[in-house]
Structure 1
């Protein structure tokens, strides 16, 4: 499910050849011609997460040039969408008569059944996340999606920001997932990608209902996470912010086996518990931590914390401090 590769231990002259071989066999399900102006001293680290029908990989590497030529397409006609999130450097792409460059925080799409040329340049080491998904898994007409290839897709606002947040988080925690998580995470990725594309095509109505519902729930979760410190956060405010009825909001959470209030309370308490256990937050009073996460009244916080964890906040903090004071052997 998870693989990692670093070239640091290899002689400089051997690194680029191994990199090309590894990308061809383990990363890209379709062949690319990969070249680099830094082949003599190439450096790269790669993390690959296989999520069933979706592959997500993070590359920190020397600048490269990639091509998908007509000859390579004839050799392997596999039809995939390939999404790039730029984290550092610049990615340029040419496809279907369009030539576009994007920088950190933005996204760019291309497909594998038409010729493509891309470059990743701008720094000694560039950094990006790549997503590969089969065409048939994206429930939008390919001719419409094709209009978004080699086009800048903003990643700092709306559902684009949600997709970027997901990709950053899933690659950061890649080594912690279990095989049972793969299908769920792959489905989340496809839902978010579909929502981003539909938004730019203005065809949200064409997205299947279940996919729209899952994407909406992800947006609501992200909104709640950003708003945990607001003591006025309520189901009514959440529903209004997402232009849905209270009944629809409650149904979304009921389908997940929980309620809006329970979700908010659990996330607030988890954040409080994390800070109470943190050495970096020991200088903060318990009531200060509680207020930061939406509990302005200490008594309410203490009761909620004790109900959830079986200890008062002060008891929990003392227990964590005693544990961290025990010398490791």
Structure 2
């Protein structure tokens, strides 16, 4: 568990705005941050804690506007889902043509794969929870239905989640590494329960809510992604279940085994081919390292996914 604390008082007046933007960009998410023009009006107290794949941030700051632009949404960073929890005051979350006004005790989701705007006209007093989209393990259309909707004021599952998330944010300084690890899976299940409560397909969205096994299976697949022997049989065997039951669990999360593995492997290769400085590894060696048995098959799959060959992709990213 890693915690980063940042306060404007530790930075010179002239550098505060840029330093705050850099802190949010590097430690939370790349966004455009609109701050007061007068340097003396820029103030913020930020605490960022990484609990496994879950990040919890608490921000108290001056009035601001946060924008995830179309350009940033297309950037080559890992897609994440955010939850904003209003502590005091009022804010607005806007995405996909919807907007939600948050008041103390309410939450809203937003997705970094598409533009969004956060408005803090009277200052920021919020907890933010960042979760990799891949860890949520729910279909994109289900996630889309949940964004920019105020939740938690009318009881039900969102209200339960709001109380839990608030206590998690307020007590995270007392957690040791073991406790943080144990909280990761149930926290994810509760988030999925909230998303399911907003879905018009609750059976599809709610299937994995009570099965931490689904989370462990996806984590296992992610850990062994580069293994060329990764297969439904090997995953089922590692979790002491049948292949049929494995497919059932993945289907409830909207995940197809072969497609998921191929997409994740291609994405890993794409990121490595975009790396700065560029890797000197041959494309054939890179493909083999990420579980592709045939360089020609890898090249065809890569071009089908991204429209250009692996070599062309590397050349475009590193023209020199």
TM superposition score category, shorter chain reference: 0.5 to 0.7
CA distance in 2, matches of 1:58, 1:140: 26
What residue number does 1:128 align with? Answer: 126
Gap change, CA 1:18 and 1:156, over 3 Å in 2: farther
CA distance in 2, matches of 1:26, 1:152: 26
Q: CA deviation at 1:8?
A: 2.4
Q: Within 5 Å, give how 1:235-254 maps onto structure 2.
A: none
CA distance in 2, matches of 1:155, 1:212: 24
CA distance in 2, matches of 1:20, 1:39: 15
**Per the alignment, in what secondary structure is the counterpart of residue 201 of structure 1?**
coil
Q: 1:165 aligns with which of 163, 166, 177?
A: 163
What residue number does 2:301 align with? Answer: none
What residue number does 1:34 align with? Answer: 33
Q: CA deviation at 1:17?
A: 1.5
Tell whether the 8 Å contact from 2:145 to 2:198 is kept in structure 1 after alignment: no
Q: Which moved more, 1:48-57 or 1:9-18?
A: 9-18
Tell whether the 8 Å contact from 2:56 to 2:128 is kept in structure 1 after alignment: yes
Q: Which moved more, 1:103-112 or 1:33-42?
A: 33-42
What residue number does 1:300 align with? Answer: none
Gap change, CA 1:210 and 1:101, over 3 Å in 2: closer
CA distance in 2, matches of 1:17, 1:79: 24
Q: CA deviation at 1:196?
A: 0.8
> Number of matched residues?
210
Tell whether the 8 Å contact from 2:85 to 2:166 is kept in structure 1 after alignment: no
Q: CA deviation at 1:213?
A: 6.1
CA distance in 1, matches of 2:146, 2:110: 8
What residue number does 2:82 align with? Answer: 82
CA distance in 1, matches of 2:141, 2:16: 39
Tell whether the 8 Å contact from 1:105 to 1:156 is kept in structure 2 after alignment: no
Q: CA deviation at 1:107?
A: 0.8
Gap change, CA 1:162 and 1:17, over 3 Å in 2: same
Q: How much is the aligned-residue C-alpha RMSD, in angstroms?
A: 2.1
Q: CA deviation at 1:136?
A: 1.6
Q: CA deviation at 1:203?
A: 4.1
What residue number does 2:59 align with? Answer: 59
What residue number does 2:26 align with? Answer: 25
In the alignment, structure 1 segments of 5+ residues that lack a partner are: 215-329
Q: CA deviation at 1:77?
A: 4.7
In the alignment, structure 2 segments of 5+ residues that lack a partner are: 213-320
CA distance in 2, matches of 1:39, 1:16: 10
What residue number does 1:14 align with? Answer: 15
CA distance in 1, matches of 2:132, 2:178: 21
What residue number does 2:244 align with? Answer: none
Q: Within 5 Å, give how 1:140-289 maps onto structure 2.
A: 140-155=138-153, 157-201=155-199, 203-207=201-205, 211-212=209-210
CA distance in 2, matches of 1:200, 1:12: 44
Normalised by the length of structure 2, the TM-score is: 0.60
Q: 4+ residue runs of structure 1 moved beyond 6 angstroms?
A: none
What residue number does 2:100 align with? Answer: 100
CA distance in 1, matches of 2:171, 2:73: 34
Q: CA deviation at 1:210?
A: 6.3
1:136-178 CA distances to partner (integer Å, 9 max, x unpaired)? 2113211122022111122462222221222221221222212
1:70-94 CA distances to partner (integer Å, 9 max, x unpaired)? 2112333532111101112222122
Q: CA deviation at 1:38?
A: 5.7
1:203-231 CA distances to partner (integer Å, 9 max, x unpaired)? 443356663267xxxxxxxxxxxxxxxxx
Normalised by the length of structure 1, the TM-score is: 0.59
Gap change, CA 1:145 and 1:179, over 3 Å in 2: same
Tell whether the 8 Å contact from 2:85 to 2:128 is kept in structure 1 after alignment: yes
1:49-80 CA distances to partner (integer Å, 9 max, x unpaired)? 21111111111111211111121123335321
CA distance in 1, matches of 2:37, 2:57: 21
CA distance in 1, matches of 2:57, 2:26: 13
What residue number does 2:299 align with? Answer: none
